[in-house]
Structure 1
């Protein structure tokens, strides 16, 4: 159903429209003040600046990882390949050990968790945190990068997992 742009847009209508925007999936991970690993599946990640290298992560105020990420000095963004659908599901679930059985390692020097076989891993220093609506925009300065070859990305579209193979 078409929505007249002159009327206010409610959350449901906006969510339905955004479901049509394909987005790459990542796992954002950190450690809390007690050293416990925390992380979540994120589709709202984008580059912000090349000099200095900055990225943005959209973090819901309802996220179980919000407290850890808003207090952390750093975090990793793990870019998922099409073979990571199970990991994306696991990190989107509540009440489970999200890191169990997935091959996470610790970044030397900071002990930030990263997925060893991710297509790319961006190690970030927290540069800023901006409250916006029902989210926080977490800005990270990229201080390290690991890449593991070219792989088909895992995409989120219409509330499901897809690969570029399906799109092409």
Structure 2
């Protein structure tokens, strides 16, 4: 099984809107999306987890569990700050709703490696440091509904 690094492969986008109820963007919507990858320094969260329910009983010494509700871990992204432009800061302003789209294996049409997270920007803040490093800022996202995981990347030339 060939392995790969997400760095240099995975593409991340922000879309203001997705027309389809399935929440799967078209190629045109992806093309018009705001590319986050070039300024992305770190990603936290964006992982679907299940909150299992314990179901112990008096008959057994083993405490079984059943699947409970799903949730997404606290999610944030840290970006390198652009000294001249504020394009990403404007696109990801506090209160903005939209979709964070990950193409996990890169932009490989028909690969079932696209994850779509419906989000609202909860906060946006600068990071301050006296260390010898590039200026950064962070966005905290609230995932507001069920994400779509493992969708097919739209083929090139499809509407």
Tell me the TM-score range normalised by the shorter chain. 0.3 to 0.5
Find the structure with the greater CA-based Rg.
2
Give the TM-score normalised by the residue count of structure 1. 0.43
Give the TM-score normalised by the residue count of structure 2. 0.45
